[in-house]
Amino acid sequence: MITTRRGFLAGGGAAFASPFLAPASRLFGAEEPARIIRLGHIGIGGQGTSLLQNFLSVKGAMSVAIADPFRQRREAAAMRVKETQGHDPELHSDFRDLLADPSIDAVVIATPDHWHVPVGLAAVRAGKDVYIEKPLGHTLAQNKAMLDACVKHDRI
């Protein structure tokens, strides 16, 4: 049976929860089912801020780092994290600095569309799972490159 996009989204926010629908053993290994997912946020403009606000309320997820080239956006997002989760996230002007942090498990990518695949590929290669808004890529080749990288690096 083929599910339509509308039907999928009508399932109560399934698109939002999809990164968390994988079995815990796939995400963490069988030994750590209760581990907190440490999130990094790349791009914190309008959509990135909305996603940050949503992920701040996800049980089992902690927003620990924010990367955006605009200082005011980073600082405003850090204030939201501090108010909601009670800690100060690391702030980066360059997303590559965020990706270099081995303690980050996954990243939320809310960059301009043409940056989705380049940043996503860098994240997967750095050992991070990724959440990327649509569109993933602008071509089938970009989408295939992202899929191939996820398979090669065993990332979600």
pLDDT digits over 70-87, tens only? 999 999 999 999 999 999
Distance CA 76, CA 68 (A): 11
Residues making up the chain, counted from first to last: 156
CA 7 to mean position of chain CA atoms:
23
Pick from 108, 60, 58, 63: which is nearest to 87 by CA? 63
Q: Where are the beta strands (DSSP E) in the chain?
A: 37-42, 61-67, 90-92, 106-109, 129-132
Distance CA 119, CA 21 (A): 23
pLDDT digits over 72-129, tens only? 999 999 999 999 999 999 999 999 999 999 999 999 999 999 999 999 999 999 999 9
Mean pLDDT of the chain: 86
Task: Give the amino acid at 138.
Answer: H
Is this prediction's pTM over 0.85? Answer: no
For the chain, the straight-line distance linking the first and the last C-alpha, in angstroms and rounded, comes to 24
User: Is there a contact between 51 and 110 (Cβ–Cβ < 8 Å)?
Assistant: yes
